[in-house]
Amino acid sequence: MKRKAKPQPPPWYAAIVKKHTPPRPLAAHCLAAFAGGGLLCALAQSAQYLLILRHIPEQTASTIVVLATVALAALFTGLNIYDAAAQRLGAGLAVPITGFANSLAAAMLEHKNEGYVLGSGCNSFKLAGAVVVFGLVSALTLSLAALLLGLL
């Protein structure tokens, strides 16, 4: 199925809209994302090193850190703190696994009063579903390609 192209405003109106619409502060957003995301990842990495120092195997330490990050993101989502932080840090919070956790927790919270199964359950992957589907499909495709290339 070919998707139709998005309609475009006539050029004279597009010019008026552009003149009066406040632009996205791209530079500030990039900087905030870099600093915020960088700080988040540095903290997580430090936590992992601390665990390794306590003689926890590297693989286990990284699993623990990932799980803790997901749990904290979900907790802050429920505490109504995450969305305010995300408005400031943007991609800095969305790109690490925190964004994935937030999309699940937010959707489940939103639909909680429609029932645990049909509400929270059915809607939990409303936003994250695309990431899972396309992530899995591309991973499988690449693995298959690598396998076939290895056989040659």
User: Which parts of this chain interact with other proteins (CB under 8 A)?
Assistant: 3-10, 13, 16-17, 19-25, 29, 77-78, 80, 82-83, 85-87, 90-91, 93-94, 99, 102-103, 105-107, 109-111, 113, 126-127
Q: Which residues of 98-134 are buried (b: 16+ CB within 10 A; e: fewer)?
A: bbbbbbbbbbbbebeeeeeeebbeebbbeebeeeeee
Specify the residue, 30 or 145, whose C-beta has the smaller distance to other proteins. Answer: 30
Q: Tokens standing for 125?
A: 């992957």
Q: Please, what is the minimum distance in Å from the beta carbon of residue 48 to other proteins?
A: 24
Specify the residue, 88 or 139, whose C-beta has the smaller distance to other proteins. Answer: 88
Specify the residue, 6 or 54, whose C-beta has the smaller distance to other proteins. Answer: 6
* Separation CA 50–CA 56 (nearest Å): 9
Q: Please, what is the minimum distance in Å from the beta carbon of residue 54 to other proteins?
A: 32
| Amino acid in position 66 | V
